[in-house]
Amino acid sequence: MLALTDKFGRPITDLRISITDHCNYKCVYCRTGNDGALYADLPFADYLRMTRVLVGMGIKKVRITGGEPLLRKGVVEFVRNVAKLRSGDGEPLDIAITTNGHLLAEMAEPLKDAGLQRVTVSMDAVDPDRFARITRVPGGYDNVLAGIRAARRVGLWPLKVNCVLMRGFNEDQIIPFGMFAREEGVIVRFIEFMPLEEDRVWSPKTVVTLDEILHRMSEYRPLVEIPHERSETARRYHFDDGVGEIGIIAPVSHPFCGHCSRIRITSDGKIRTCLFSVWDHDLHGLMRRGASDDELAEFIRGVVQRKEERHHIGEPDFVPASRTMVHIGG
Ligand code: SAM
């Protein structure tokens, strides 16, 4: 089958599939303080079929996300089934999960045994009180720390810890996270805050930029940039003594849309071609109407042709995405 490529010549090799938009945290940069999800979850068999069709079209990396994916009963079995899929060249897929880590301590080993290779844990402070202020849920910090350590112990590697920096909440955590990366032997990645939150508090001033992160971290220890693939979203650094890796994902101040290789499926089975899409495409609706795998593939190919060239964050013509992050799957 022809490789999946958009009209700008970007190969689409990376799938992010959300398996629920429920979440047990209410992070200030993501959700409102209210409970609840918007969309019903689909059966895992449907996510598996969508994934299988996309893998047949050239997807090599599958990231399972949400909402909070570990809340969903059956996720371990889903990982096991995804791990059985083979890309066109017969190679095993690169399978990862993005999680808030709350339930990871008990699930790291079964997930690893099921075929998960890597995990990214979101953690926005290395201080329990600050952590609770950001997640808007009491407690949790110890669970997440235990989850990170369990993931490391069972060999879910490379282990990345993602921290979204939001001015007024956690920009003073930059140096503590530098220390954390060195002490825990994990890759800490700072992410610039994007206008994808439910509370609609984003403004350029709330973004802690790559330049500011580098400047603040240099007050602790010098960082040395690591050469990276052009398609990598993160700029990578290690400290001058070679201990501790830091990544910075800077979609606002240094966009990387030109190398975007991603397609997303939401928990209700819609395709999104960009985080900032103002529409989505009803793949699951087509499945419900009895489409064959070939018809699904043809639909996907047409949708990918409409993938946006780039986002317009901070520009006068910026139009907010039609969904917030928790309902897309980050
Ligand atoms: N619940 C899981 C978690 O916490 O990692 C997966 C879903 S969460 C929506 C996925 C990622 O999106 C997390 O790393 C989170 O920090 C990031 N994220 C959410 N809202 C964001 C925003 N407004 N700007 C930048 N990153 C955001």
Q: Candidates 20, 30, 100: which one to mutate for ligand 1, based on the most atoms within 8 Å of Cβ?
A: 30
pLDDT tens digit sequence for 14-51: 999 999 999 999 999 999 877 777 899 999 999 999 99
- Per-residue pLDDT, 34: 79
Give the distance (Å) from ligand 1 centre to CA of residue 290.
33
| Rg of the chain on CA atoms, in Å | 19
For the CA of 68, the nearest atom of ligand 1: 1
Give the distance (Å) from ligand 1 centre to CA of residue 30.
7
Residues of the chain with pLDDT under 50: none
Q: Give the binding-site residues of ligand 1, using a 6 Å CB cut-off.
A: 23, 29-30, 65-66, 68, 98-100, 122, 162, 164, 191, 193-194, 196-197, 325-326, 330
Among protein residues, the one with the nearest Cα to ligand 1's atom 2 is 99
CA angle, residues 51, 62, 257, in degrees to nearest 5: 110
- Per-residue pLDDT, 25: 97
- DSSP letter for 200, please: -
- Per-residue pLDDT, 38: 86
Is the peptide bond between 158 and the residue preceding it cis, with omega within 30 degrees of 0? yes
Bridge partners for 15 per DSSP: 62, 263
Give the distance (Å) from ligand 1 centre to CA of residue 1.
33
Give the distance (Å) from ligand 1 centre to CA of residue 329.
8
- Per-residue pLDDT, 1: 64
Among protein residues, the one with the nearest Cα to ligand 1's atom 19 is 30
| Dihedral in degrees, nearest 10, Cα atoms 8, 11, 13, 14 | -30
Give the distance (Å) from ligand 1 centre to CA of residue 253.
18
Bridge partners for 226 per DSSP: 236
Residue among 104, 92, 98 nearest 153 (CA): 104
Question: Can you give the three-state secondary structure of 24-68, one letter per residue?
Answer: CCCCCCCCCCCCCCCCCCCCHHHHHHHHHHHHCCCCCEEEEECCC
Among protein residues, the one with the nearest Cα to ligand 1's atom 21 is 30
Q: CA-CA distance, 148 to 121, in Å (whole number)?
A: 7
Domain ranges within the chain, ordered by starting residue: 14-328
Give the distance (Å) from ligand 1 centre to CA of residue 2.
32
Bridge partners for 182 per DSSP: none
Question: Can you give the three-state secondary structure of 113-179, one letter per residue?
Answer: HHCCCEEEEECCCCCHHHHHHHHCCCCCHHHHHHHHHHHHHHCCCCEEEEEEEECCCCHHHHHHHHH
Neighbours of 56 (CB within 10 A): 18
Q: CA-CA distance, 123 to 191, in Å (whole number)?
A: 11
Among protein residues, the one with the nearest Cα to ligand 1's atom 25 is 193
Among protein residues, the one with the nearest Cα to ligand 1's atom 17 is 330
Bridge partners for 36 per DSSP: none
pLDDT tens digit sequence for 87-142: 878 888 999 999 999 999 999 999 999 999 999 999 999 999 999 999 999 999 99
- Per-residue pLDDT, 205: 97
Q: CA-CA distance, 69 to 47, in Å (whole number)?
A: 13
- What is the model's pTM? 0.97
Instruction: For domain 14-328, give the fold.
Output: TIM Barrel (3.20.20)
Residue 69: in which H helix or E strand, if any?
Answer: none
Q: Which two tokens stand for residue 295?
A: 């018809």
Residue among 121, 44, 40, 41 nearest 82 (CA): 44
